[in-house]
Structure 1
Amino acid sequence: MDQAPDIAASRLSPEELARNFADAHPPLTDNQAVIEADRCYFCYDAPCIEACPTGIDIPGFIKKIASGNLAGSARTILESNILGGSCARVCPTEILCEHACVRNAQEEKPIAIGALQRHATDWQMTHRGQPFSRAAATGRHVAVVGAGPAGLACAHRLAMHGHDVTVFDARPKAGGLNEYGIAAYKLPDDFAQREIDFVTAIGGITIEAGKVLGRDFTLAALEAAYDAVFLGIGQAGVRALGIPGEQLDGVLNAVDFIEAVRRSSTRGDVPVGRRVVVIGGGNTAVDAAVQAKRLGAEEVTLVYRRGADTMSATPVEQEWAQTNNVAIRYWAAPARIEGTNGAVGSVTFARGHLVDGKPDYALGEFTLAADMVLKAVGQLFLPDPLDEDWIDVANGRIMVDAHGRTSRDGVYAGGDCTPGEDLTVAAVRDGRNAAETIHADLIGAAGA
Structure 2
Amino acid sequence: MRPVVKAGLRRLWRPGGALQVGVTPGRSLLLNGLGPAATRFVGALDGSRDIPGLLAHAEHLGLPAAQATTLLDVLARAGFLDDAGYDPGPALRALDPAETDRLAPDLAALALGYLVPGGAVRAMTRRRTAVVTVYGCGRVGASVAHLLAAAGVGCVVPVDAGRARSADAAPAGFRNPRAVGHRDEWDVPGPRRGRRPSHLKTGESPPGETPTGDPRRHDLVRALIRASAPATRTTLPANRQHPDLAVLAPVADSYPAQAAALQAAGVPHLTAEVHETTGVLGPFVQPGRTSCLRCRDLFRTARDPGWPRAMVPFGGVDAVPAGGDRACDVVLATQLAVLAAQHVLAFVEGDPPPTVNAVVEVVPPFGTQTRHERPAHPDCGCGAEVADVASAAHPPLVHS
TM-score bracket, shorter-length normalisation: under 0.3
Structure of higher RCO (CA pairs closer than 8 Å, 6+ residues apart) = 1
Which is richer in strand? 1
Q: Which entry has the higher C-alpha Rg, 1 or 2?
A: 2
